[in-house]
Amino acid sequence: MTVLWWVRGCPDHLVDAHASAGFTSVGPDVGARSGAVAVLAGPEPYSGDVLDSMPDLRCLARIGIGYDAVDLDAATERGILVTNTPDGPTTSTAEHAVALMMAVSHELTASANRLRAAAGDYVSRQNSMELNGRTLGLLGAGRIGGAVAVMAKAIGMNVLIADPAFDDGVELDELLAESDVLSIHAPATPSTIGLIDADALGAMKPGSILINCARGSIVDTDALVASLQSGHLMGAGLDVTEPEPLDPDHPLLQMDNVIVTPHIASNTTAGRARMESMAYEQVTMALAGSTPTQLLNPAVL
């Protein structure tokens, strides 16, 4: 019987499906790796050494869109097909980004904390930003960024886009200077890692907001802390950080004008089910001898 190795627990709604297809599902026991022919992978790293511990592996299917934790060259050298689920997390992640934007702009954390502390003087201490008529800058306008743009326009925001693949976009300098809210939806690549550094943050509008639901490595964490502490930025909403997770004593977790969630933007019930089902479909195609529709390393063929 074929072994399908799951890093995380196999959801009940898929157990019967792959069991009937002749798969045995096993958990994250290292001892199970040697018999695994497929992996439904979370965000954990897959280096050459990890792949070498799985000599029978034929397909690694990422549950999600990002694959920076997978060594594609190493997988290709070993004949392993690598796939992702680019359409799975779109709605959930876009909604999460907008939720962070609204929560930070309306100072929900600070206001709720003042109420819990019975601090009083609530109205005069509230200095929230109304988003209608404001400018949202999108760094990256793929599936998720595009969905955020639609939602932002629905609440009356103007939208600017900086994305090499977008014909009507603007340059990064203009995006930074004009945006009341900057929302990051770019992959982590050599050209984007560290892109939002001290200079970039300094070029943002005073009193603006940073949202990041992409990858923590795109933003210089120390520079972000400094910009928030100086009051240059109004606040930040982060689903991803560098490092990840943050130490419980990290300054970003102590600020009322910052909301940090633990890389769960795509993890709604519906979003998780979509991604897991899509990843399973990719595995099924690969093991049946077909070319997966979301193959990331076509050179392996």
Bond before 89 cis per omega within 30 degrees? no
Confirm whether 274 is a catalytic residue: no
Q: What is the CATH number of the domain that holds 132?
A: 3.40.50.720
Burial 133-163 (b: 16+ CB within 10 A, else e): ebbbbbbbbbbbbbbbbebbeeeebebbbbb
What is the radius of gyration, based on Cα positions, of the chain?
21
The answer to whether residues 224 and 291 belong to one domain is no
Q: What's the predicted TM-score (pTM) here?
A: 0.87
Q: How far apart are CA 195 and CA 1, in angstroms?
A: 48
* 8-state DSSP, 292: P
Q: Is the same domain home to 27 and 128?
A: no
Give the per-residue pLDDT at 16.
Answer: 56
pLDDT tens for each residue of 106-134: 999 999 999 999 999 999 999 999 999 99
> Of 160, 165, 159, 158, which is closest to residue 142 (Cα–Cα)?
165
The domain tally of the chain equals: 2
Q: Do 171 and 95 fall within a single domain?
A: yes
Separation of alpha carbons 164 and 185, rounded Å:
13
Q: Are 18 and 49 within one domain?
A: yes
Reply yes or no on whether 78 is catalytic. no
Q: Which of the following is catalytic: 215, 242, 274, 276?
A: 215
Shared-domain flag, residues 37 and 103: no
Q: How crowded is residue 295: how many other Cβ atoms within 10 Å of its Cβ?
A: 18
Q: Which of 77, 178, 244, 281 is labelled catalytic?
A: 244
Is residue 215 annotated as part of the catalytic site, yes or no?
A: yes
**Domain range for 174:** 90-260
Terminal alpha carbon distance of the chain = 25
Residue-wise pLDDT for 232-276, tens only, equals: 999 999 999 999 999 999 999 999 999 999 999 999 999 988 998
- How confident is the model over 182-206, as pLDDT tens digits? 999 999 999 999 999 999 999 999 9
* Residues 46 and 97 placed together within one structural domain of the fold: no
Buried b (16+ CB within 10 A) or exposed e, 53-67: ebeebbbbbbbbbbb
Tell me, yes or no, whether 45 and 174 share the same domain.
no
Active-site residue (options: 263, 272, 274, 276)? 263
Average pLDDT over residues 83-101: 97
On whether both 160 and 236 belong to a single domain, the answer is yes
**Residues 27-51: what's their mean pLDDT?**
76
